[in-house]
Every structure is written in C-alpha cells, then in structure tokens.
Chains A and B, each alone.
Chain A
Amino acid sequence: MSFLRFAARRLAEMAATLFGASFVIFGAMYLAPGNPASFLLSGRSASPEALKAINAQYHLDDPFVLQYLRWTGQILHGDFGRSITYRTDVSRLLADRLPSTLLLVGMALVLVVALGLLLGWIGAVRGGAADSTILVSTTFALGTPSFVAAVLLQGLFAVKLGWFPTGGTGDGLGQMIWHLTLPAVALALYLIGMLARVTRAAMLEVLGQEHVTVARSRGVSDHKVIRRHVFRNALGTVLTTGGLIVSTLLVCTVLVESAFSVGGIGQLLELSTTTKDFPTVQAISLIMVGLFMTVNLVVDLLHPLVDPRVTLGPRRSAA
C-alpha cells in the first residue's frame, strides 16, 4: 500500500470514528429523563424566549436525524451554539479560554517528552542503582492522580514556600508561563512515569537484539550504538503512546485547572457540568475527542517515517 493510500484510509477511518463520537455526544441529551428542552433548561426559568432560543439552536421539533445533521453542520461552520449559563456564543467562550489550556498542555507535553525519554534512557542504559531509583519513582508517579499532585505541589511550592502563585492564569506570556508552571508539573507527573516505563522497556528490548551486539563487536562506540541503533529503533514503539499522552493531558486539565483555578477549557468543562450548561459540555467534549483523534492520526502517519519497518496495512491499534 502506498503512503498516500494509507494516509487516505486512516483519514477516512478517523472521519468515521469522529462521526460516531459526535453522534454519541449529541445523542447523550436524549438519555436524560424528561424531554430534551426541559433537560437543556434544567433548573432555569423556562421562559418562552428561552424555550424559543433552545428550539432554534437544536431544532427540537425536527426528527432526531435532522437535528443531529443541523447541529454538526453548524459546528462545521464554527458555531457551537449558545451557552445557557453565560448567555454568549460557546465559540467565544472557547476562544477566550483555549489559549491558556493549549499553553498548559504544551508545557506539560514538553516536560513529559523531555523527562520521560531521559529517565527511560538512563534506566535502560545505566541499570543498577539508577534504574532501581527510576523504577521506584515511576511506580509512585503512576499511582499519583493529577489532582493529588496539584494539591500537594500547591501546598508546598505556592503556600509554604511562596515560589509560585497559588492559582490564576496571569496576563502576558511570561506571567502565564509562571502561573502555569505548577499546573504543568502536576499534569505531567503521571505521564512522565508512563513514558519513562515505555521508553525503558522498548530500549531494553532492542538492547537484547543481535544487531546491537554486532555493532558493538565491530567497535562502534557505546554512545553511538545507543543513540543510532537502540534509541532510534525504540522510538517507533514510544511514538505509539503519543495519542494516549495527549488525551490524558487534555482530560486531566479538568482536574488541574480546577485545582489551580486556571481559566481554561478544562475548568470551563467542570463549571458547565455542575451548572448543567449542556451546549458547552458538548462543545468541549467534541474538541477534546477531535484533538485526541487528530494526534492519533498524526502519530499513525509519522510512525512509518520514523520506523520504516512498519507495514502500511490497516490500522492495528496498540493494545
């Protein structure tokens, strides 16, 4: 299969899954007890104007399939409807809040990739005490939920030592980075442990293969063997965790942004869930699923470039 056909096939598969996911997100409101209009307005005065607005947004009088198609059509035009709590367009709310979340996720991603690969590398190559230390600390990192890390980091570095602000987002890039440092560490901790484990295991597997022994016996320097022959080969396996890393980062922003009161879409998702602002919940869920699937697609397309041994067959999902 040529690369282009492979890419087209994966793109079509992603479109199909995204279609299914959006169907689930839209259909969820029909699972609610009572009729959708009263669910969407739950706890609020059902004034004739409010009912009319909800009807106009979801076309609740139309058949279900038509409602769904209209809703997706609007979203494809960038219209996510109106927030019931904030009484503004959801797309405006998102545009205000998306930058801080993307910066936070980006900072955490840098930490995860840099420290995860480094620790995995050291663990696999050094062995001994360094490896044991890394194994024990990654075991604890894997058992620490992001909100626990957030609360503890906040208590130590913001309240007790006062090195960082206790919360908020800050204005300007420098301030934002300073405000988002602790949240990013809290967000990254678990995934650093995971990536270090995956990298370590993948490198150890390659280290035991014959081509490494051959390269060593031919007098290639140790560093070069590790870098060119072991790490390069392990990178393909490591890359397949990319989708999982990004989706975990995105979802955990709900917890970390709430703990540090960062005004991003994670906090917005928490607020709109507690206030039953369903249009906003739908929009954020869709964006998170969409971003996750985009990353998965990019990883799938990059994989054959990083590791030419990968066959361009139908998707064999990572277990």
Chain B
Amino acid sequence: MTATLLRRPGLARIRTTRAPLQRLCLGFVALVVLAALLAPWLAPYDPNAVDLGNALAGPSADHLLGVDASGRDTLSRLLTGARTSLLGPLGVVAFSTLAGVAVGVAAAWRGGWLDSVLSRSTELVFAFPGMLLAILIVSVYGEGLLAPVIALAIAYLPYVSRLTRSLVLAERRRPYVEAYQVQGHSGLQICLRHVVPGIAPVVLAQSTVNFGYALIDLAGLSFLGLGVPALTPDWGRMVFDGQSAIQHGYPLSAILPCAAIVLTVVAFNVVGERWADQVARRDR
C-alpha cells in the first residue's frame, strides 16, 4: 500500500517515458562505437581522397552524404573521424579516472598532510579551465593529439579525485571496513578489494559524463587546428572545413559533423546522468 502511495502517478509516467530515451542513447553510443571500430571496412572511400572536380556535390548514389569543399566523401570522413573523435576522449577519461581514483583514495585514506597537499593542488588545477591548460601545453609542444589529451586528463583529474575522496570518506565509516581491519587486512587490500569496487559505479557514471565534455574540448581544439594533425579526419576539423562550405551556400558538409558531435555528447551525457541517478537511488 505504501509503495503504491509513494509512486505518484506523475513520477511513474516520467520514468516510463524516459526509459526509452535512455535505451535510445545507449543504442546510439553503441552505434557510434561500432562505426568507429569498423570504419576501415564500412567507409566506402578513402577519407582523404581529394576530388576537386566534384567539390561540394550534394548527396548522390555514389556519395550518400555528399562531399566536402575538397571533394572528399563526407560519409567516409564521418566514419573514420569517429575513431579519433572517440579515441581522444577515451584517453582523457581513462587516465583521469585511474589517476583521480588513486589520488582520491590516497587523500581520503591517509588524510593529514597528504590530503591538504592534494587539495591545494586541486585548487590550482581548478584555476585552469581544461581548454586553457590544453592550449598552453599545445603552445609548448606543438600540435598533435597526445599533448591535449594529457593536458585535459590533468584538468579533469580533480573532478574525479574530489568525488572519490568524498565517497571514500563516507565508505570508511561503514562497519565492514573496521571488520576487515580487525581481521588484519592491510589498508591497501581493503581499498583495492572492497572500497574501490564499492564506489566504482558512481565514479564511472561521472566519467561517462566527463567523456562527453572531453569530446567537446578535443573537438574544439581540432576546430582551432591545435588538436589532431591536419589530414587526419576528425569531427571538429570537419566543422572547421565545413565553415567555408557554409559560406559558399553548401551547409551539408558542416551540419553533419556538427550533428555527430552534438548527438554523441548528448547520448553520453544522458547515459551517464541516468546511470548516476540509478546508482544514487539504489544506495538510498
């Protein structure tokens, strides 16, 4: 009886109508990842094959999504571009999650001077927006994918470490930790075997949302010509190339990569946020 009372009709409706959205977004993420993995086999043309005679042609049987200002096949570039556009954020998220969890667990478990040193440096990194740090590093090391990925990973690290720190602090107070300590398990063992797996869903949900933001930042750097090398197909770079096409009145080659970026980021955000909601509900 109480259960039915708690589930107000309005809320129930929202949940049932939102679940398909979640599934839709998860499906889109899978589709993009699959496209990236299978790009070399799926792409009908060499993404860098220039055909100036056919520049800015619209969709046709030969080129399903048209070609860009240099006559390169847009579909092939979108598919191949998915690889760099997803690989960069993956690197950012992988590094920032691993290092962030390590830093957060160390700060929460040890406390004391280590905690204050780490939170001081967190403040310092927070003063640099990720994009600015990446530009600073690129201006030192030159263009390329590696330098911005490392810079963004460092910029994203405090978000993960701060979250981890607060989660571990809460987890430490739970009785099972003391039980293991009494049984003589070392702190490292307890952290690795029990605490980290326990907090993993929350951290990974946050990292899924971070993936979308990293994709935005890296695509922005490619748009500026500071990210991937000029010839590598990349969605951000395609938006830049498409900008001149738009000014000549052929918007398609710009709209498609824009849509790819927006839809992918939205999909990752929705999946990450919904996941975080579910984890939060389960914990309560």
A residues sitting closer than 8 Å to B (CB atoms) are 13, 17-18, 20-21, 24-25, 28-29, 31-32, 39, 139-140, 142-148, 151-152, 154-155, 159-160, 166, 247-248, 250-252, 254-255, 258-259, 269-270, 272-274, 276, 278, 281, 285, 288-289, 292-293, 317, 319
Interface pair B246/A159, CB less than 8 Å apart: yes
Residues of B within 8 A of A285 (CB): 132, 135-136
In Å, the complex CA distance between A18 and B123 comes to 10
Give me the 10 closest cross-chain CB pairs, A-B, nearest first: A143-B266, A143-B265, A155-B246, A145-B216, A273-B139, A251-B129, A148-B258, A281-B139, A20-B124, A251-B131
Contact residue among B166, B243, B249 (Cβ-Cβ distance under 8 Å from A319): B166
Interface pair A272/B139, CB less than 8 Å apart: yes
In Å, the complex CA distance between A278 and B142 comes to 12
User: With A140-B266, A248-B129 in contact, do A152 and B255 touch (Cβ < 8 Å)?
Assistant: yes
In Å, the complex CA distance between A142 and B262 comes to 9
What are 20 A-B contacts with C-beta separation under 8 Å?
A: A17-B123, A28-B136, A31-B141, A39-B140, A139-B270, A143-B269, A145-B216, A151-B239, A151-B254, A152-B255, A155-B246, A251-B131, A254-B131, A254-B224, A258-B224, A259-B243, A273-B139, A281-B135, A281-B136, A285-B132
Residues of B within 8 A of A278 (CB): 139-140
Closest chain A CB from B241 CB (angstroms): 10
Residues of A within 8 A of B258 (CB): 148, 151-152
Closest chain A CB from B20 CB (angstroms): 13
Contact residue among B127, B131, B249, B269 (Cβ-Cβ distance under 8 Å from A289): B127
Interface pair B269/A139, CB less than 8 Å apart: yes
Closest chain A CB from B49 CB (angstroms): 24
Check: B180 CB closer than 8 A to any chain A CB: no
Residues of B within 8 A of A144 (CB): 262, 265
Select from chain A the residue with minimum beta-carbon distance to B159.
A319
Residues of B within 8 A of A146 (CB): 220
In Å, the complex CA distance between A151 and B236 comes to 11
Closest chain B CB from A282 CB (angstroms): 8
Extra contacts, 20 of them, besides A251-B132, A292-B127 (Cβ < 8 A), are: A28-B140, A32-B141, A139-B266, A140-B266, A144-B262, A147-B220, A148-B258, A151-B239, A151-B243, A152-B255, A154-B246, A155-B254, A159-B246, A159-B249, A247-B129, A254-B220, A258-B224, A270-B224, A278-B140, A289-B127
Categorize the interface residue count of chain B. 35 or more
Select from chain B the residue with minimum beta-carbon distance to A146.
B220
In Å, the complex CA distance between A293 and B140 comes to 24
Interface pair B254/A147, CB less than 8 Å apart: no
Contact residue among A13, A251, A273, A319 (Cβ-Cβ distance under 8 Å from B226): A273
Closest chain A CB from B186 CB (angstroms): 30
In Å, the complex CA distance between A32 and B270 comes to 39
Closest chain B CB from A73 CB (angstroms): 21
Residues of A within 8 A of B71 (CB): none
Interface pair B166/A254, CB less than 8 Å apart: no
Interface pair A154/B243, CB less than 8 Å apart: yes
User: With A147-B223, A151-B242, A159-B249 in contact, do A276 and B139 touch (Cβ < 8 Å)?
Assistant: yes
In Å, the complex CA distance between A140 and B220 comes to 17
Check: B251 CB closer than 8 A to any chain A CB: yes
Residues of A within 8 A of B270 (CB): 139
Select from chain A the residue with minimum beta-carbon distance to B10.
A127
Most A CB contacts (10 A, CB to CB) among B126, B127, B128, B242 go to B127
Check: B102 CB closer than 8 A to any chain A CB: no
In Å, the complex CA distance between A23 and B187 comes to 36
Most B CB contacts (10 A, CB to CB) among A31, A151, A285 go to A151
Residues of A within 8 A of B251 (CB): 155, 160
In Å, the complex CA distance between A200 and B1 comes to 31
Chain B 138-153 near chain A by CB (<8 Å), digits 1 or 0: 1111100000000000
Closest chain A CB from B226 CB (angstroms): 6
Chain B 257-279 near chain A by CB (<8 Å), digits 1 or 0: 01001110110011000000000
Contact residue among B124, B131, B135, B140 (Cβ-Cβ distance under 8 Å from A21): B124
Closest chain A CB from B271 CB (angstroms): 12
In Å, the complex CA distance between A166 and B255 comes to 17
Closest chain B CB from A112 CB (angstroms): 16
Closest chain A CB from B220 CB (angstroms): 5
User: With A155-B246, A273-B135, A274-B226 in contact, do A148 and B166 touch (Cβ < 8 Å)?
Assistant: no
In Å, the complex CA distance between A272 and B123 comes to 27
Select from chain B the residue with minimum beta-carbon distance to A142.
B269
Check: B60 CB closer than 8 A to any chain A CB: no
Residues of A within 8 A of B77 (CB): none
Residues of B within 8 A of A152 (CB): 254-255, 258
Closest chain A CB from B117 CB (angstroms): 12
In Å, the complex CA distance between A139 and B24 comes to 14
